[in-house]
Chain A
Amino acid sequence: MTDAVYKGGDAPRAAARRDIGIKKRYAAEQRFRMYGIIAIAIGIFFLAALLWSVVSNGYTAFWQSSINLDVTFAENVIDPDNERATDPNALLTANYPKLATDALVAKLGVDPENRKLVREVGGLISNGVRTQLRDMVVADPSIIGTTRNVWVLASGDVDSAVKGQVNLEVDESRRKVSDQQLEWMRTMEADGVLEQRFNSGLFTRGASSRPETAGMGVAIVGSIYMMLIVLVLALPIGVAASIYLEEFAPQNKLTDLIEVNINNLAAVPSIVFGLLGLAVFINFMHLPRSASLVGGLVLTLMTLPTIIIATRAALRAVPPSIRSAALGLGASRTQTVFHHVLPLAAPGILTGTIIGLAQALGETAPLLLIGMVAFVADYPTTPLDPATALPVQIYMWANEAERAFVERTSGAIIVLLLFLAVMNITAIILRRRVERRW
């Protein structure tokens, strides 16, 4: 008799329940949470390691050693034969570095007759001083004969030495900075003549084989041109294609095929797009090589699938009831899309576009193929002029031998990351604003 065993209350019945492993279930839940936390921790660790290595290598690139000199624009050096009125090249070809060297020789109290020492003094100053002083004279020839206080760049090797990036234990003969130069360097630092100043040239100068005068100005302009071209072309084409496919196109084999192809295109390696651009835009259409226009077109092709996929997802996320409501009121399909569906999908489209743009901004491989790995010292005035791009500039600097280019490579990476961060923050702000409108 079971009744005899039954003592009343619900406890025996609960105990009789089948064991479905509740403890195990909770353990599994705890375990899964742990996996998640570990995964995130690994991600954060690598991100931190990346940022640390880039920033610790690169922050010094934003500072540049400069020497304060009282340069006398001596007429007998610039224009010894007094030809400048007749020969326009006289001012351009003058021996400007000698002016700076003379000034520094005077400042350091070196014997001007000692050729070897004078040459070593000259080695402290960057060769970029030639263009710097020349530009001053050409802009205002009346300064000839006067003395001006000028900040000139120290040479790249001295800059590295000042930043402590040169190993001083190496024997002097195998070092790029001599003991004598180091001694002068320390005196000048003590006197406040040699200073670390903000390196605005990093953002404004073009390519240069001397690290102290190399900048990514041309690369920034090239990247901006390309981003504008991608935005102007890829956004309208991508949005129009998505709206057609999502809202108007009939569902049949053809549209299925197009859909599969778009998804495939998004996964095509970017270097293939570079080859396509080389074949179509340069060899067939004869657009200029190394031009940001061609780069922009190639990146547009690359970004289109991303934008189309994001836009279609955003359109699909708009509830069908909104379409029914508008159609039921007598709005045409186009009115329904443009008055109701598109505004609701805008935040998603915006996010997709900016993700696509960010992807394009960091793209290097296709640009190598269309000749944007170029030594471009002058600013491109139009998108048809040769230019480089930020990631390509990083790639080129990473291949340079000088120590000073190592910090510039990291500095350029920091700038690229900042650009990406700014774009993503803009996306978030714009999205918030568009969403708040409702």
Chain B
Amino acid sequence: MNMLTDAAVEEALDASQKPRPLKMRGENVRVFYGEKQALFDVNLDVLENQVTALIGPSGCGKSTFLRCLNRMNDTIDICRIEGRITLDEQDIYDPRIDVVELRARVGMVFQKPNPFPKSIYENIAYGPRIHGLASKKAEFDEIVESSLQKAGLFNEVKDRLHEPGTGLSGGQQQRLCIARAIAVSPEVILMDEPCSALDPIATAKVEELIDELRENYTIVIVTHSMQQAARVSQRTAMFHLGNLVEEGPTDKMFTNPDDKRTQDYITGRFG
């Protein structure tokens, strides 16, 4: 720090406080599973190149909201969504929007590592192949290598790219899934409790990775771990019983929340 001039420090402060452009926005999002309403009028902004953490007790609707952002809820027959969700000012539930293209722009990493039972190489090459991002083998090779590099996995697996992805350890599998999501060059990456099945060391690696990925991607992460939310996110949103209780900069949420429920949840009084 001593080496930085005052001007540089000011500049850095400016950058962190400067409002970032809006990437995704939910307006009055209501979700119903059959007769049961799972989300009540959620308004939430996701800012570009930031990590937004969604926290709250089980069944509070945070995963439901996350899955609305790339329309994964479409696969559930009885699920009905009202309100408006935008990506770059464009309604993603607009009939003119192609859901396949949307999911290429908004990638997803799941709770349990779920690599395809194919080789590591094939796991990563699959997305680019179905989206036509590459045609020659050299192009695929490059995408595979760079995706694995970005996910910090390349050095661990470079000698066994053609061995099954399911043979990796849990943490490696989850980073493989992140590499797989990165391979289609998404703008937003959704992560649904990505570390809940991992041990602390693997968790630390994935968190480190999330922090690095923030530079190029917008990340929304659902987590049950308060510490994780505090460590990796810049903004935090607290859900409870299908309502968005409160959202704001992570620092403020964890030190001086406005809502009593947030305070209670963060300090471990319920949830």
| A186–B123 alpha-carbon span in the complex (Å) | 76
The verdict on B56 contacting chain A, using a C-beta distance below 8 Å, is no
Contact among B101, B107, B118 for A328, CB-based, below 8 A = B107
| A282–B231 alpha-carbon span in the complex (Å) | 76
Q: B residues within 8 A CB of A319?
A: 114
The verdict on B148 contacting chain A, using a C-beta distance below 8 Å, is no
Contact among A251, A322, A327 for B116, CB-based, below 8 A = A322
B130, A324: Cβ atoms under 8 Å? no
Segment from A200-208, A215-223, A329-337 that makes contact with B: A329-337
The verdict on A316 contacting chain B, using a C-beta distance below 8 Å, is no
Report A415-438 CB contacts with B as 1/0, cut-off 8 Å: 000000000000000000000001
Given A321-B112, A438-B117, decide whether A330 and B72 contact each other with a Cβ distance below 8 A: no
B164, A324: Cβ atoms under 8 Å? no
Q: B residues within 8 A CB of A324?
A: 72, 108, 110, 114
Report B104-147 CB contacts with A as 1/0, cut-off 8 Å: 10011010101111100000001100110000000000000000
The verdict on B14 contacting chain A, using a C-beta distance below 8 Å, is no
B130, A329: Cβ atoms under 8 Å? yes
Interface of A is mostly: helix
B186 to chain A: closest residue by CB? A330
The verdict on B47 contacting chain A, using a C-beta distance below 8 Å, is no
B107, A327: Cβ atoms under 8 Å? no
The verdict on B89 contacting chain A, using a C-beta distance below 8 Å, is no
Contact among B75, B77, B118, B181 for A329, CB-based, below 8 A = B181
| A321–B131 alpha-carbon span in the complex (Å) | 21
Looking at the assembled complex, report how far the CB atom of A317 sits from the nearest CB atom of chain B, in whole angstroms: 13
The verdict on B218 contacting chain A, using a C-beta distance below 8 Å, is no
The verdict on B177 contacting chain A, using a C-beta distance below 8 Å, is yes
| A176–B166 alpha-carbon span in the complex (Å) | 72
| A438–B120 alpha-carbon span in the complex (Å) | 11
The verdict on B42 contacting chain A, using a C-beta distance below 8 Å, is no
Looking at the assembled complex, report how far the CB atom of A159 sits from the nearest CB atom of chain B, in whole angstroms: 58
The verdict on B184 contacting chain A, using a C-beta distance below 8 Å, is yes
| A325–B177 alpha-carbon span in the complex (Å) | 9
CB neighbors of B among A294-334 (8 A) = 319, 321-333
B110, A329: Cβ atoms under 8 Å? no
The verdict on B100 contacting chain A, using a C-beta distance below 8 Å, is yes
A323 to chain B: closest residue by CB? B75
Given A250-B77, A329-B127, A329-B184, decide whether A321 and B103 contact each other with a Cβ distance below 8 A: no
B103, A327: Cβ atoms under 8 Å? yes
The verdict on B70 contacting chain A, using a C-beta distance below 8 Å, is yes
A321, B114: Cβ atoms under 8 Å? yes
| A235–B100 alpha-carbon span in the complex (Å) | 30
Given A344-B117, A438-B164, decide whether A328 and B110 contact each other with a Cβ distance below 8 A: yes
| A216–B77 alpha-carbon span in the complex (Å) | 55
Given A250-B77, A321-B114, A324-B72, decide whether A329 and B103 contact each other with a Cβ distance below 8 A: yes
The verdict on B175 contacting chain A, using a C-beta distance below 8 Å, is no
A328, B116: Cβ atoms under 8 Å? no
The verdict on A339 contacting chain B, using a C-beta distance below 8 Å, is yes
A328, B126: Cβ atoms under 8 Å? no
The verdict on A340 contacting chain B, using a C-beta distance below 8 Å, is yes
| A251–B34 alpha-carbon span in the complex (Å) | 13
Q: B residues within 8 A CB of A340?
A: 116
B103 to chain A: closest residue by CB? A330
| A7–B100 alpha-carbon span in the complex (Å) | 76
B126 to chain A: closest residue by CB? A329
| A324–B109 alpha-carbon span in the complex (Å) | 10
A325 to chain B: closest residue by CB? B114
Q: A residues within 8 A CB of B70?
A: 328
The verdict on B30 contacting chain A, using a C-beta distance below 8 Å, is no
Looking at the assembled complex, report how far the CB atom of A250 sits from the nearest CB atom of chain B, in whole angstroms: 5
Report A334-366 CB contacts with B as 1/0, cut-off 8 Å: 010001100010000000000000000000000
Q: A residues within 8 A CB of B116?
A: 322, 325-326, 340
Looking at the assembled complex, report how far the CB atom of A261 sits from the nearest CB atom of chain B, in whole angstroms: 21
Q: B residues within 8 A CB of A250?
A: 77
| A17–B115 alpha-carbon span in the complex (Å) | 50
Contact among B75, B127, B164 for A330, CB-based, below 8 A = B127
Q: B residues within 8 A CB of A330?
A: 100-104, 127, 130-131, 184
The verdict on B180 contacting chain A, using a C-beta distance below 8 Å, is yes
Contact among A322, A327, A339 for B72, CB-based, below 8 A = A327
Q: B residues within 8 A CB of A322?
A: 114, 116-117
| A327–B116 alpha-carbon span in the complex (Å) | 12
A329, B180: Cβ atoms under 8 Å? yes
B190 to chain A: closest residue by CB? A328
Q: A residues within 8 A CB of B131?
A: 330
Q: A residues within 8 A CB of B102?
A: 330
B111 to chain A: closest residue by CB? A321
A328, B181: Cβ atoms under 8 Å? yes
Known: A321-B114, A344-B117. 11 other contacts (CB 8 A): A321-B112, A325-B115, A328-B110, A328-B181, A329-B104, A329-B126, A329-B127, A329-B184, A331-B130, A339-B126, A438-B164
A-B contacts, 22 of them at CB < 8 A, read A250-B77, A324-B108, A324-B114, A325-B110, A325-B114, A325-B116, A326-B126, A328-B70, A328-B110, A329-B103, A329-B107, A329-B127, A330-B100, A330-B101, A330-B130, A330-B131, A331-B100, A331-B126, A333-B75, A335-B130, A339-B130, A340-B116
The 4 closest A-B pairs by CB, nearest first: A328-B108, A321-B114, A330-B103, A330-B104
Q: Which A residues have a C-beta under 8 Å from some C-beta of B? A: 250-251, 319, 321-333, 335, 339-340, 344, 438
